[in-house]
Amino acid sequence: MSGRRKEIKLALVYRDMWQSSGKYVPRIDQLIRVAQPIIDIGCFDRVETNGGGFEQVNLLFGQNPNIAVRKWTQPFNDAGIQTQMLERGLNGIRMSPVPADVRRLMFKVKKLQGTDISRSFDGLNNPQNLELSFKYAKEGGMIAQAALSLTYSKLHTVDYYIQLADSYLELGAEEICIKDMAGIGRPDSIGRLVKGIRERHPDIIIQYHGHSTPGFSVASSLEAARNGADIIDVGMEPLSWGTGHADLLTVHAMLQDAGFTVKDINMDAYMQVRQLSQEFIDDFLGLYINPKNRFMNSLLIGPGLPGGMMGSLMADLESNLSSVNKWLTKNNKANITQDDLLIKLFEEVKYVWPRLGYPPLVTPFSQYVKNASLMNVMQLIKGRERWSMIDENTWGMITGKSGKLLGPLDDKILELASQQKREFYTGKPQDLYEDELDLYKEKMKEKGWDYGQDDEELLEYAMHPQQYEDFKSGKAAQSFQDDIAKRRMKAVTASSASSTDLPKEMTIDVNGSKYKVQVSYPGEDTDSSGAANSNASSSSDSGPGVYILAPLEGKFYLTKDNSDTAIKKGDTVNVGDTIAYIESMKVINAITADKAGTVDAILVSHGEEVEEDDQIIKLV
């Protein structure tokens, strides 16, 4: 080991700490408060500040994400601590593919906003999807770091990953990150992987990022350091361990004992960051953190699901458990618990994953595998067949629109694709998505919106169109405050025997702004605005005809994009036709007709929340 690598640097993954625990990250004002104490800890050479879902979270708050990034990164820039972001290659900083011109602008803007390093990963480890990321990052003045998305299968060997690192570096990457998003990389394999890359590339920076969920990451961190890694990612209390990352104090002490040089920790500052983070949890963020995500779970060695999605997974399970138990009760069957559903899901992931071609279980493909598995579980519980609900995003992965899968597809999947007349794509995925910046420039001119400093508002609109419009209209802030109020009231009334005398409407003051919110209580049926759901009556029709029912709960859409034509009264529908869509669990699910007829009425409005088995289309 050279003298240079005898020193190990540490990176704090403050964004990922929150994302791996729950739904949200702190608000702008909270991030500003915690920045200087993080700097004062004194041992960090890098801090992960943004990327991934960070900008979307700010939009959901009703806050401007560009202001957040600039104010959050500035103190670290001033202190000489490098800032890093996570970006998803073809998907940029969202869950769906992004046109090339929008991707290019993203790197330019993020560098000007204060982000030094782009950690780019492709969910399928396809080098062709990251070539533009490396090119655009360097053009924008950022350091282009390539992440190897680790997963554990007979196909994902140490040699495979060493060769993948070679490919990324040949395409222009300047650093390599070992991204062990599920923490399932075995320590010995991590060591051999780092050693193999180091031997081939003695001068590049290698950074290890491992989640602690199944318990391997501390030993993996040591093996990475011993075999030539330069930087280790860490978390810290109160968000270390569980689905997060190994704790700073543990990793620091371990590396010191192993003979590595690491910077000293200012414990007063450490305790201040710890206290502030807990304060943020107590303020509102804890409302979105499932307690199960604070525990390590060796059951995840089998399915290999990543820590970063466990927050959303537990939220999905909660709503789907309710849906399943409603069906079981209606059919005079015994209800199941959340643990029952979780174990069924883990087992189904192990069944589904190889049949979908072994996509690495990282965003967004971990969500696709999880969603397909959860849909299968729910259908099997109800006595139906597997694969009867595959969402459109998963079909995009299956048919090659994100690149080639490493493993073969199951014959059943190929048969379904043939039945649904789905075409497989073998070209370059980026070519499927035409440039869109000019389109969004025109839209902003029409609305009288400014492109923003360094075109950052243009980027935000093009990257997150619907969320940006909701932010600009104030809808996002109102919806967020509605949700906060409902969750707080639910927490207050959890031990109450009755909620009949509790208020149905409240006014909440947030930073001087007053929001009127509707409040519901456990057991009440509400829509997304908090008002009592009238869908049951509006979608009930005693007239003659047959009805297509919602196959799952979520948000109903007549079309999935501007190129679609919505069905209308008088249209003929055949069995198997796609008639509408439901957005659920972050993906779009096509609703296919299980009956034939002529559309007599569309019983749900575009964008309306529906429950499973709601009547949505009437046919005659």
* 396: pLDDT strictly greater than 50: yes
State whether CATH 3.30.43.10 applies to domain 535-619: no
pLDDT at 85: 97
**353-364 confidence digits (pLDDT tens):** 999 999 988 878
Annotate 234-267 with DSSP letters as a single string.
EB-TTS-STTSB-BHHHHHHHHHHTT-B-----H
Backbone angles phi, psi at 350, to 5 degrees: -65, -30
Whether the predicted pLDDT of 5 surpasses 50: yes
User: CB under 8 Å to 443, separation ≥6 — which residues?
Assistant: 461
Q: Packing angle between helix 456-463 and helix 65-79, nearest 10 degrees?
A: 120
Q: What is the mean pLDDT of residues 377-385?
A: 87
pLDDT in tens, 272-283: 999 999 999 999
Q: Residue 469: enclosing H or E segment and its boundaries? A: helix 465-473
CA distances from 573 to 546, 558, 620 (A): 12, 14, 10
Least confidently predicted of 45-54, 162-171, 219-228, 511-520: 511-520
- Tens digits of residue pLDDT in 559-587: 876 567 888 899 998 887 888 888 776 66
60: pLDDT strictly greater than 60: yes
pLDDT at 77: 98
**Superfamily of the domain at 4-289:** Aldolase class I (3.20.20.70)
Question: Exposed, middle or buried: residue 557 (CB in 10 Å: 0-12, 13-18, 19+)?
Answer: buried
